Amino acid sequence: MYVWGHSLGTGIATKAVRFLTEQRKEYPKALFLESPFNNIFDAAMLHPFSKIFGLLWWFDDLFLDAMHTYGIYLQNDVHILHIELPVLIMHAEDDHVIPIELGLKLYDASKTRPKSFPPVIFHKFSKERGFQHKYIYSAQELPNILGNFLKGIN
């Protein structure tokens, strides 16, 4: 079994995989993160809607404080430190929803995992490709990227 998370789903995927691996029962062989963020708070602050609504005095109270109140943290940068699996992060340079900088922050956080853990690989798609936030699936080389990653972990 493999787990694939995209965008907001990467927050759920990393938390679920961390839970599964910490239970030490059956768990996935690898984690794939497409257009991920480091944590939901950074993602919210850089989201296109935040550029508009973030200027309003009530934005933090309504949105960010509410996430704290209801325990919505989605801290990929924390969970990835506890995931003892190979991880492939894929991000497009022209992603306007979750900027590639947040994917790179997640990748940088992963570098502090124990040396005994399998690798975290970051694959960047150039902005000239036009994949933006949701078109990485259309990359002709995607099957080769996934195949090479899987060969490297088996």
Question: Do 37 and 98 meet the contact criterion of CB atoms below 8 Å apart?
Answer: yes
Query: How many other C-beta atoms are found inside a 10 Å radius of the C-beta of residue 137?
Result: 10
Nearest to 153 by CA among 75, 68, 86: 86
The label of the residue with tokens 């927050």 reads: 11
Q: Is 106 exposed, middle or buried (0-12, 13-18, 19+ CB in 10 A)?
A: buried
Nearest to 90 by CA among 103, 106, 75, 77: 103
Which residues participate in catalysis according to the annotation?
7, 95, 133
Instruction: Report residue 152 as tokens.
Output: 């490297």
The label of the residue with tokens 């550029």 reads: 51
